[in-house]
Amino acid sequence: MQIREVPVTNPHGLHARACARIVALASHFRANVCLVVAGRRASARSIVAVMMLAAAVGSTVRLEVDGPDEQAAMSALVQLFDQGLEQRA
Amino acid sequence: MNVSFALHGIGVSGGIAIGRAQLVSHAMLEVAHYNVPAKQVPAEIERFDAAVKDVQLELEALHRAMTSGDVPGEFGAFLDVHWMILNDPTLSEVPKRIIAEQRCNAEWALTQQLGVLVEQFEQIEDAYLRERKADVFQVGERVLKRLMGRPGALRAASAEEQTIVVAHDLSPADVIQFKHHHFAAFLTDLGGVTSHTAIVARGLNVPAVVATHNARALIRDGELLIVDGNHHVVIVNPDRAVLQEYRLKQNELDLARQKLKRLRSKPAQTIDGVHVELNANIELPDDLAQAIENGAGGVGLFRSEFLFLNREGLPTEDEQFEAYRQVAEGMGGKPVTIRTFDLGADKSKEGLDGLARVAPNPALGLRAVRFCLAEPRLFLTQLRAILRASHYGKVRILIPMLASVGEVDQTMALLEQAKEQLREQDIPFAPDVQLGGMIEIPAAVIAMGSFLRKLDFMSIGTNDLIQYTLAVDRADDSVSHLYDPMHPAVVKLLAMAIGTANKASIPIAVCGEMAGELPMTRLLLGLGLRDFSMHPAHLLNVKQRVLHTDLSQIVPIVDRLKRADDPARIAALLEKLNA
């Protein structure tokens, strides 16, 4: 399992479209992706759960990726966060 | 046979429509709860699955329609979000468990789950993220409507069967969607003469009756309606004789409309040879076709804030540039006046979540140019986009809602900064782009001299000028009858603004609703106005009025009207003017 912590930098935090990009990206991989914010976890399979994490700008998201292609999945996710979640997945 | 009855309201857009009622509602309010026998639970779950599947196909079809048309990609992204929410187990799986556990109907199971989700969203601290519950809610509502046997997308009306929208109230975001459907008329419980429903209905040239108070509750889906916008009346389930009579009236109106079309390319000139500019107000690049079709001399007001509605987040510089360039090019060298974002107040209620701020008195709060100056980055982006478009046509910039000259100075400084940036990047723009200001606050009329020294042109927004002069909220049903364009103070302010600008040889236009209202045409001409900007639907009517006006005859009447203080005398003079 890979674990990384990434900051949320875009002004509206994990808004609906940002969540959609995370969920869409995660669906390309076989690995299970979990997001943890302030102790609350959400599976990247559920956009509603990710939205409800309510990660505002300045918060930190812990990415937990577990599965055969976890390395590729993690680097793709980290890149998405680095781009301020604006890049289309 | 259904009982025939009549409803009265305010006819805010003229004409007659005959068609079937289509109720627009929030489905959640009407959900029934009943128990399902154990044997039927699998069938109920199947019914739920089918509804989800239907909505899924519906969203996919919408998405395809979007990507094939010239709709901004952002709208597609917004649909993607809805598609994902629909397929989220919290929405597509949990309700099935509830059906099985509680042996209840699918609608009830979904409503309960939506309630749980919305409650969880309510606990989010961040206001912007909390509001995203709206997306979950909208998706849930689509499924509910399917389950309740009515499709979520409004079925487009066919030529044979006209459809009339019946709603409690319509938001700007709702009505913008209606532009693409061919509805025959609009009916709402709430609203006034200047409500968004009214403005859009007039623009689409379809009748509308608002403030009916309980049309939504009394009319049933599919009932036959006659909407008479001229006489403020709605007839529900008319009998054959009444129907016959209205069909005749409808034909007469159609004939008159055909006649008007011949005026399209005729120059707008009074009998005594004074030329008058007749320009179009538009909201989106799509409106351009209607403007050209009705012979507009240019775009007098491009309400750029409509680029914000029905989307999430801000339009980027490139998206804005594309929209402005399209209009500038489309008008082929004729002037295009782009008003910078007039956000805040009534337009921020929906669709602008990122920007909406709750203020105790939004009309007097952070809106229009105040808002833009408080968000200089957003403003600079827009100014850059407009400047870039100026390379492709004759573009002018209009600042909304000026109150003091400092706002002009700050805007000019930002405009200079935008030009500087573009020069550095070698991006072409017209260096002599004209800058104008909107007169909407009485203070701006009284202190107009200071603006005239700095600006290239002025434009009067009559709706807000009346609202601020009379302290009447035009959207408030309880005081909307006090909203009076013919109040002596309003007439005097208009006379003062037009007179002052004319004396200084600075062009001045009226771009509010008043510019498109026929009874006002001669009054404004008599006050010295030579530049009108209005919804394209009114252009030919107003042109016809200009063609039949002799200034030498009306100016003496308007001079008397200007000095009058008694409402009855003003009304009498206005009638004389239009005789």
| Mean pLDDT along residues A47-63 | 90
Integer Rg of chain B from CA = 26
Q: Looking at mean pLDDT, say which of B63-72, B84-93, B355-364 comes out highest.
A: B84-93
Is pLDDT at B560 greater than 80 in this prediction?
yes
Contacts of B78 in chain A (CB under 8 A): 17
Is pLDDT at B280 greater than 70 in this prediction?
yes
Contact B129 A15 (CB under 8 A): yes
Amino acid at B292: I
Q: Band the pLDDT of B75: cuts 50, 70, 90.
A: low
Does A50 reside within a domain?
A: yes
List the domains of chain B with CATH numbers: 5-26+153-258 (3.50.30.10), 32-147 (1.10.274.10), 266-577 (3.20.20.60)
Contact B136 A51 (CB under 8 A): yes
Chain B nearest C-alpha distance from A89 (Å): 11
What would the pLDDT profile of B421-442 be if each residue is shown by its tens digit? 999 999 999 999 999 999 999 9
Q: Band the pLDDT of B179: cuts 50, 70, 90.
A: low
Choice among A15, A24, A49, A59 that is catalytic:
A15
Q: Band the pLDDT of B515: cuts 50, 70, 90.
A: very high
Does A89 reside within a domain?
A: no
What would the pLDDT profile of B368-399 be if each residue is shown by its tens digit? 999 899 989 999 999 999 999 999 999 999 99
**Structural domain harbouring A23:** 2-82
Phi, psi of A68, deg, nearest 5: -60, -40
Q: Domain count of chain A?
A: 1
CA distance B187 to B180: 18
CA distance B199 to B174: 13
Question: Above pLDDT 90, what percent of chain B?
Answer: 55
Does A43 reside within a domain?
A: yes
ipTM of the assembly?
A: 0.83
Chain A nearest C-alpha distance from B297 (Å): 41
Specify the length of chain B in residues: 579
Comparing A61-70, B28-37, B292-301, B489-498, the range with the smallest average pLDDT is B28-37
Helices (H), B231-311: 240-261, 288-293
Q: How many CB atoms lie within 10 A of CB B564?
A: 18
Contact B129 A46 (CB under 8 A): no
Q: Which DSSP symbol is given to A43?
A: E
Q: What is the pTM of this model?
A: 0.62
Q: According to the model, what pLDDT value does residue B352 have?
A: 44
Contacts of B85 in chain A (CB under 8 A): 47-48
Q: Which DSSP symbol is given to B314?
A: P
| DSSP per position, B376-420 | HHHHHHHHHHHHHHHTTS-EEEEE-S--SHHHHHHHHHHHHHHHH
C-beta pairs of B25-32 under 8 Å, 24+ apart in sequence? B25/B167, B25/B168, B25/B216, B26/B141, B27/B141, B27/B144, B27/B145, B27/B148, B28/B111, B28/B114, B28/B141, B28/B144, B30/B148, B31/B107, B31/B108, B31/B111, B31/B144, B31/B148, B32/B105, B32/B107, B32/B108
Q: According to the model, what pLDDT value does residue B26 have?
A: 54
| DSSP per position, B176-212 | HHHTTS--SEEEESS--TTSHHHHHHHHHT--EEE--
CATH code of residue A41: 3.30.1340.10
Site of tokens 């000026």: B402
